[in-house]
Amino acid sequence: MTSTTTTAPAARGIASRIPWPGVLAVVAIWAILFLPTAGLQNFHLEEGRRALLARDLLQRHDWLDPRILGVAYLNKPPLLPLLMAFFGWLAGGINEWTVRLPPLVATLGVALTAYWLIRPYVSRSAALFGALATMLTPMVMLKANLGETDTTVTAFSFLAFVLYLRGEYGRGESARGTRLGTWLLCGLALGLGALTKGPVPLIYPILAILVLCLRQHGLRAGGWRKLGGLLLAVLIAFALLGSWILGHLDPASIALWKHEMRLDQVTVRPSGIGWEDFHLKFLFTSAVQAMPTLALALPAMIPAWRRRLGIAAEPAGALTLYALLGTGVLLLANAEFGRYAMPAVPALGAAAGLVFEKLRLRRPRLVRPVAAPLCVLAGFAFVANDLVIPFRLDVLQHNRQAAAAIDAAVDSAPGPVFLIDDGTVDYNVIFYLRHPPTLAPVGKRPAAEHGWLLLGGRQPARPPAAEGLSLPDRPAADVTSREMLRLRLYRL
């Protein structure tokens, strides 16, 4: 391994120590941009579901079987609610902070991992640039303080890949080779990623490591040893995921998981949109959401440009494989949303750091123009998170107010509350209810003489789930969530 700014022994010396100045700089910027108002706004998007799952884990202590209102939730593995429940246990309950801390920490983690990977090759300023390019990519930045799975699975996937790279190249020419301990750690990171969002995001590190092993050693003895280590890591990952799968294995869950992993779309033409348009949508949205980091990383990813700038081939080539192979598989598999390509972002950020180092040394006049987009994004994050949110609390805390209106109606005639989930219920409002509802079958009136029934729906008229239930003509409460989903409360 050869450093671009110091001798190889000096680079190895830097790699063997924690680079505290750079790490503290990344932590400080992360804290300023994302922490001050992270707990102010109410839950929105999918956060309410995750919060209810975390609350259930704290109440029932069944760590592999979180439930929503008593019903098992099998759409995603349980690691993220588990992390939320852990922070909730530390804080004494589930709230906005405890739900958002795991993705916030994951955002910091991907930035620090990118810094750790490229620091032996570049100066502190270039490594810091790569870390900030990772953290401030819109695809990551807009999910940084949102209690969903994307940033967390990105952190574990990239960590697994970097553990392999550091194990393979991080000890110098005389000690090259990935040790058993590294493969075990790599398998643990892969397993935690799989327990966060399932196995699909793991294609990023697994494919990249596989190609690197074959390219370096082929199928000679060394290659077989590498492939054996990778197989061990994959087996560890699937053993961890299997600990959850085996407890919920039945035909219905298998069909659900195939749909969640979009396996039912691989060979099926998406309805309402052409095959070519569907793929163009994924390419366009993922590329736009990865800007400007993608543009900054391109010189490290294109071999001719890489050689012209003198960028080290080992890290740049490995990062290119990581970013492109996984994204290419998602493209071929009819991936729809650009955010599915988020695991590629830290590789792009690290590659941007490699490019920045060469520009700093060879074309210093370009440093400011190249750094300007990150400064703009950092300013946007600061204004949006630290200045705008406190002045929009009437909107951002609307879900708690909607729940209070429902609770007030129930308090007027106390009784059990039943909820019919027809796919349009906003669980962000449900989380804030003081009277937790019980789920009831769609289209069936609960067998209760006195009580309340909650229905969801976007339609201005009575929702389809209310048909044939002999409910009053007018609801006792009719509220709209922040996501513009209505909740109607009827007296039984």
pLDDT (tens digit, 0 to 9) for every residue of the chain, 492 residues total? 444 444 344 444 444 467 788 889 999 999 999 999 988 899 988 899 999 999 999 998 888 888 898 888 888 999 999 999 999 999 989 999 999 999 999 999 999 999 999 998 989 999 999 999 999 999 999 999 999 999 999 999 999 999 998 877 765 444 455 688 888 999 999 999 999 998 999 999 999 999 988 887 666 656 677 788 889 999 999 999 999 988 888 888 788 777 777 776 665 555 555 545 667 888 888 899 999 999 999 999 999 888 888 888 889 999 999 999 999 988 887 777 888 899 999 999 999 999 999 998 888 888 888 889 999 999 999 999 889 998 888 888 999 999 999 999 999 888 888 888 777 788 999 999 998 888 887 767 777 678 888 888 766 666 665 566 677 878 888 898 888 888 889 888
CA dist list (Å): 283 to 327, 344, 348, 449 = 9, 13, 15, 55
Could you give the 3-state DSSP secondary structure of residue 479? strand
Tally of residues, the chain:
492
Adjacent-strand bridge partners of 488: 455, 478
Long-range contacts of 420-423 (CB under 8 A, 24+ apart): 420/453, 420/454, 420/455, 420/456, 420/465, 421/456, 422/455, 422/456, 422/457, 422/463, 422/464, 422/465, 423/456
Beta carbons within 10 angstroms of residue 38's beta carbon: 19
Calculate the dihedral angle through the C-alpha atoms of 52, 58, 60, 63, rounding to the nearest 10 degrees.
Answer: 90
| Spatial separation of the C-alpha atoms in residues 439 and 419, rounded to whole Å | 5
**Residue whose pair of structure tokens reads 């991080």 in the numeric block:** 170
Beta carbons within 10 angstroms of residue 420's beta carbon: 23
pTM for the full predicted model:
0.89
